[in-house]
């Protein structure tokens, strides 16, 4: 059986990045693999080793066999789509509010151009010359050389046809014709994931590694992606490797599972064996002691809402319209949230959920052109952004993407006390105590002094969740808060949200594409439809 990737007794060269045991791993042709494990268990480290980003000792390195792929470099054959999506191809500077500012939007590339670039890279990879190819001396006659050159040209044309078929199929299943003329910065979280997946698939990999590809996708898009990956593995030579934190819905096309525990790579097993022996998650993860501590918290200094006299309206949208160019995102939206209500916000990818939240959080400049009342005060009548933000705890996929500073996790949490996301200073002792309390609630207190970029993406998400809760906000806005979390942490965060919302005058607005993620005390729902 062909071994596409093989590691025997592998150990990372750099001692700071070594696993807790030598690595034995193999991926056979015909297998479709899921790499699973808790947040921080070492899944991404294993992927870094497989892709060559993390070098092993020379005597036990990674062995590859990508036949029948015509591409010869590992980087052309193994493609990795990570959880941390990025805007653009060159990882340009991206800041949190960039998506909402029209002047900065115009400077970002179009989806069409980036996909065309990926298609060109794919063709180059299939015909790329290695050092050996460039300097090989062939003993052939002019006639034999002409035949060889003609065959190479025929192969190029054949490969182009195959790539074009792939491109058309991807455009159809993801409805990309609706997105190609948009600036990439305007894509919703779910649309961005479709775009990034398509961009990666267009490079025609032999092994496609995807980190949590289903998160951020609506129900329809998740089903379409699973169906497409099934067809991809059935009809092509592509081997799919999924890196999954949410392990209760591993797609059926997966044949084998490798679990990573405590920085150790476990033995590969069949999907049926893994499902049969998987340990179930407890019905409750938050301890009684921590639940009581949350409920007993004194109100923070700024927790009391400065509501206009006689009103309990926290949010009041009066026929709000948001558009970029000719495209309407929100049209004549009427939406009212009263103090103490708990709302679920849903809708298909691109329907405007994150845009709605950006208006509430005072991040979207177009809010000034609309009739909007927040906390009983007319938007644009003299209140500052900070007057609004001091009452709000917020987390979103966009926020996670924007956090690229490698500073201690506790400083990230402390920035939530002042709503500052770009400037950081050491918290005072009393502030650090509050930060450590919430980090303890979210199970990451021991990570307080670990710098942010050295954490796994799941641990980073828990840090940003602690940041959202740290000032005891009156309005909690959670946009896909469980992205990238394992099953235990998903249950824990859901418990924390439920307990927090039991406290007096706590208002919740939560976005998720998984209904089972919603806390039990949701009492209102709104569904946004995508504008045509």
The average pLDDT across 95-122 equals: 70
For position 7, what pLDDT does the model report? 96
Q: Does domain 288-528 have CATH number 2.60.40.10?
A: no
Considering only 36-40, 95-99, 466-470, which range has the smallest mean pLDDT?
A: 95-99
- Work out the burial of residue 313: count CB atoms within 10 Å of its CB; fewer than 13 is exposed, 13-18 middle, 19 or more buried: middle
For position 522, what pLDDT does the model report? 96
Q: What is the pLDDT of residues 291-333, one digit of tens each?
A: 999 999 986 554 455 555 556 889 999 999 988 777 788 899 9
User: Cα–Cα distance between 443 and 446 in angstroms, integer?
Assistant: 8
The average pLDDT across 266-282 equals: 95
Say yes or no to pLDDT of 88 above 50: no
User: Cα–Cα distance between 457 and 186 in angstroms, integer?
Assistant: 23
Beta bridge partners of residue 511, listed in sequence order: 345, 479
User: Cα–Cα distance between 377 and 388 in angstroms, integer?
Assistant: 10
Confidence of residue 126 (pLDDT cuts 50, 70, 90): low
Do 28 and 4 meet the contact criterion of CB atoms below 8 Å apart?
yes
Task: Indicate the SS3 state at residue 44.
Answer: helix
Say yes or no to pLDDT of 247 above 70: yes
Q: Which of 130-144, 154-168, 395-409, 440-454 has the highest mean pLDDT?
A: 440-454
Q: What is the pLDDT of residues 479-529, one digit of tens each?
A: 999 988 999 999 999 999 999 999 988 999 999 988 999 999 999 999 998
Domain spans of the chain? 3-277, 288-528
> What is the third-level CATH fold of 3-277?
Rossmann fold (3.40.50)
For position 39, what pLDDT does the model report? 94
For position 90, what pLDDT does the model report? 39
Q: What is the pLDDT of residues 185-207, one digit of tens each?
A: 777 766 777 788 788 877 778 99
Do 519 and 494 meet the contact criterion of CB atoms below 8 Å apart?
yes
Do 472 and 303 meet the contact criterion of CB atoms below 8 Å apart?
yes
Do 201 and 176 meet the contact criterion of CB atoms below 8 Å apart?
no
Residues present in the chain in total: 532
Q: What is the pLDDT of residues 163-172, one digit of tens each?
A: 788 788 778 8
- Work out the burial of residue 310: count CB atoms within 10 Å of its CB; fewer than 13 is exposed, 13-18 middle, 19 or more buried: exposed
Angle between the N-to-C axes of helices 111-127 and 189-201, in degrees from 0 to 180, rounded to the nearest 10 = 20
Tell me if domain 3-277 and domain 288-528 are identical in fold: yes
Say yes or no to pLDDT of 380 above 50: yes
The average pLDDT across 242-265 equals: 94
Beta sheet of 507-511, edge-to-edge order: 392-395, 475-479, 507-511, 342-347, 524-528
The average pLDDT across 30-47 equals: 95
For position 302, what pLDDT does the model report? 47
Say yes or no to pLDDT of 182 above 90: no
| % residues pLDDT > 70 (the chain) | 87
CA distances from 419 to 356, 414, 426 (A): 19, 9, 14
For position 306, what pLDDT does the model report? 59
For position 421, what pLDDT does the model report? 57
Confidence of residue 128 (pLDDT cuts 50, 70, 90): low
> Mean pLDDT score of the chain, rounded to an integer?
84
The average pLDDT across 428-443 equals: 95
The average pLDDT across 159-181 equals: 79
For position 475, what pLDDT does the model report? 94
Six-digit token string for 70: 């015509």
């Amino acid at each position: 059986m062909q071994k596409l990737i093989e590691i025997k007794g592998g150990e990372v060269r750099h001692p700071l990045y070594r696993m807790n045991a030598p690595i034995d791993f193999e991926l056979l042709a015909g297998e479709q693999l899921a790499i699973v494990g808790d947040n921080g268990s070492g899944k991404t480290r294993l992927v870094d080793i497989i892709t060559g980003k993390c070098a092993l000792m020379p005597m036990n390195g990674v062995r590859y066999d990508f036949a029948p792929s015509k591409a010869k470099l590992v980087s052309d054959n193994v493609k990795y789509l990570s959880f941390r999506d990025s805007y653009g191809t060159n990882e340009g500077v991206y800041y949190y509010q960039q998506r909402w500012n029209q002047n900065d939007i115009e400077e970002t590339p179009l989806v069409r151009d980036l996909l065309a670039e990926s298609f060109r890279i794919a063709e180059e990879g299939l015909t790329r010359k290695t050092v050996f190819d460039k300097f090989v001396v062939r003993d052939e006659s002019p006639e034999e050389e002409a035949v060889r050159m003609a065959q190479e040209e025929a192969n190029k044309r054949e490969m182009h046809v195959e790539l074009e078929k792939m491109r058309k199929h991807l455009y159809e299943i993801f409805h990309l014709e609706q997105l190609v003329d948009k600036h990439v910065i305007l894509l919703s979280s779910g649309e961005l994931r479709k775009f990034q997946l398509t961009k990666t698939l267009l490079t025609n990999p032999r092994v496609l590694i995807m980190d949590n590809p289903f998160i951020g996708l609506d129900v329809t898009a998740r089903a379409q992606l699973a169906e497409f990956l099934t067809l991809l593995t059935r009809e092509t030579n592509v081997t799919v490797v999924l890196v999954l934190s949410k392990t209760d819905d591993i797609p059926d096309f997966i044949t084998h599972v490798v679990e990573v525990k405590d920085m150790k790579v476990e033995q590969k097993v069949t999907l049926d064996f893994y499902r049969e022996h998987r340990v179930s998650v407890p019905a409750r993860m938050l301890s009684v002691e921590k639940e009581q501590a949350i409920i007993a918290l004194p109100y923070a200094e700024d927790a009391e809402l400065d509501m206009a006299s006689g009103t309990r309206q926290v949010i009041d949208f009066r026929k709000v319209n948001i558009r970029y160019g000719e495209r309407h995102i929100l049209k004549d939206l009427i939406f009212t949230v009263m103090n103490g209500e708990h709302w679920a916000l849903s809708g298909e990818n691109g329907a405007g959920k994150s845009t709605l939240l950006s208006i509430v959080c005072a991040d979207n400049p177009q809010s000034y052109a609309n009739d909007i009342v927040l906390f009983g005060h007319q938007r644009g009548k003299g209140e500052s952004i900070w007057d609004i933000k001091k009452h709000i705890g917020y987390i979103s996929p966009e926020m996670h993407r924007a956090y690229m500073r490698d500073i201690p996790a506790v400083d990230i949490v402390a920035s939530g006390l002042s709503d500052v996301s770009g400037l950081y200073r050491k918290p005072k002792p009393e502030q650090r105590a509050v930060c450590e309390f919430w980090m303890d609630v979210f199970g990451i207190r021991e990570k307080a002094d670990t710098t942010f970029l050295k954490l796994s993406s799941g641990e980073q998400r828990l840090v940003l969740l602690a940041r959202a809760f740290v000032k005891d906000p009156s309005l909690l806005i959670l946009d896909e808060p469980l992205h990238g979390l394992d099953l235990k942490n998903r249950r824990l965060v859901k418990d924390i949200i439920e307990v927090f919302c039991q406290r007096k005058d706590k208002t919740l607005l939560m976005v998720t594409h998984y209904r089972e993620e919603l806390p039990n005390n949701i009492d209102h729902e709104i569904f946004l439809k995508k504008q045509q």
